[in-house]
Copies of this chain bind each other. A is one copy, B any other.
């Protein structure tokens, strides 16, 4: 129910034998679909020829049986899932981005956001570049292409590109002969790899995708690491490792990632249980039952229950059929959207003092309506606990908080927020507990603290280059 969105999930596979890799990518993208529901695509490389299919929509919408089985076999493939916006003005921004250049064709899948994207794009434009998309991935493609003109290999060109681009990027680059995976030196976004028994190697945003396709998790890519998969096997290039502190996005643990994933050694479900336990210690509540907002608030709710000793209950049911095609009730409708999406379980909350746990509050609207649903079902008291600190600053690394506007926590005290949401008490996770939540790993928490790891642009709007497009076209 969060208003937050991750930017993407990526998945790559390299196989010693030509086989139906698009199918494996398809299942891998299903496992990464939570990272992006706007659009998706799969590019297959078959003997140097790259074929791509991509469009706006969920994996199950973009790939029907004919399309999937119509993809050629190959020995490399890369897939991408992109996050869902309202307008869907984005076929042109779907990935993998596939471009032709002097050395042939190249496919790129990107998770993250460059913090110097504007400057890079301006420089490229001043050299006569034309842009077909509005994403910073196209700038990356340009820079790799330019570097490739003077570099001896595609991996050298990518390495040199890492000297120029700044910010968050987990990348998979597929050339006619190599599959290259890169994680930025801060490690803002996750990226891991695994193997199949037959020697095929898989790279994915989250380990849940490896498990889903039946591959064995091998390890996370180190921040700054590049892996090159080719006929010569797997090679690791750590030239950019250690050049920056580890800054995995803490929100991967709190909300974005699937609970069964393990990121940089820390199981996501554990991190959320810990968040709940911390909340129970730091913001206790005198209550009869602890419930979570499904799905992402459930783990922290369970942690809160375990730590506090207050029983865990199932107090909210999520309608699992409300998807992209759902028609939201209009203003004059007597129906309320949240009421369709969520239902209170009366017997759990009636006449109870309820601890309600959710992963975050952005604008507070949904939380207020959930509180109202619980009141209507008879809840006596509602103690809202949030398994993240309050958002105060924009994110430049791939989360869609692109300005401070609309953040309910700005310029409001906790009491004011609680009152606005209609809850009896409100508690946030203390910023100081984030490292504990992450299991000690160095994490990026700039959206809470405003302390950014890179230079950041003076202004920032993710849709800066977006020109209105009609329908889903282009």
Listed in ascending order, the chain A residues whose CB lies under 8 Å from chain B are 23-24, 26-27, 30-31, 33-34, 37, 41, 49-55, 58-68, 70-72, 98-102, 105, 122, 125-132, 134, 138, 141-142, 145-146, 149, 196, 208, 211-214, 258-260, 262, 267, 269-270, 295, 298-299, 302, 306, 311-314, 317, 319-323, 325-327, 329, 333-336, 339-340, 343-348, 465, 467-471, 473-474
Copies in the complex: 4
Which among B260, B335, B465 is the interface contact of A317 at CB below 8 angstroms? B260
Question: Within 8 Å CB of A470, what residues of B?
Answer: 51-53, 67, 70-72
- Also in contact, A270 and B347, with CB within 8 A (given A214-B334, A321-B58, A327-B63): yes
Which among B34, B145, B319, B327 is the interface contact of A65 at CB below 8 angstroms? B327
Question: Within 8 Å CB of A132, what residues of B?
Answer: 98-100, 132
Question: Within 8 Å CB of A138, what residues of B?
Answer: 130
A339 with B467: CB separation less than 8 A: no
Q: List 28 A-B contacts (CB under 8 A).
A: A26-B327, A27-B340, A30-B340, A31-B319, A34-B320, A34-B321, A51-B468, A53-B474, A60-B327, A61-B325, A63-B327, A72-B468, A100-B125, A101-B125, A101-B131, A102-B128, A128-B146, A132-B132, A208-B317, A213-B334, A213-B339, A214-B334, A258-B317, A260-B346, A267-B347, A269-B348, A270-B347, A302-B312
Nearest Cβ distance between residue A302 and chain B, in whole angstroms?
6
B130 with A99: CB separation less than 8 A: yes
Nearest Cβ distance between residue A337 and chain B, in whole angstroms?
9
Q: How far is the CA of A325 from the CA of B63 in the complex (A)?
A: 9
Q: Which residue of B lies closest to A471 (CB)?
A: B67
Question: Within 8 Å CB of A314, what residues of B?
Answer: 259, 269, 298-299, 302
Q: How far is the CA of A13 from the CA of B37 in the complex (A)?
A: 34
B467 with A30: CB separation less than 8 A: no
Nearest Cβ distance between residue A467 and chain B, in whole angstroms?
6
Q: Which residue of B lies closest to A217 (CB)?
A: B346
Q: How far is the CA of A10 from the CA of B109 in the complex (A)?
A: 35
- Also in contact, A129 and B105, with CB within 8 A (given A326-B30, A340-B27, A340-B31): no
Nearest Cβ distance between residue A264 and chain B, in whole angstroms?
14
B60 with A325: CB separation less than 8 A: yes
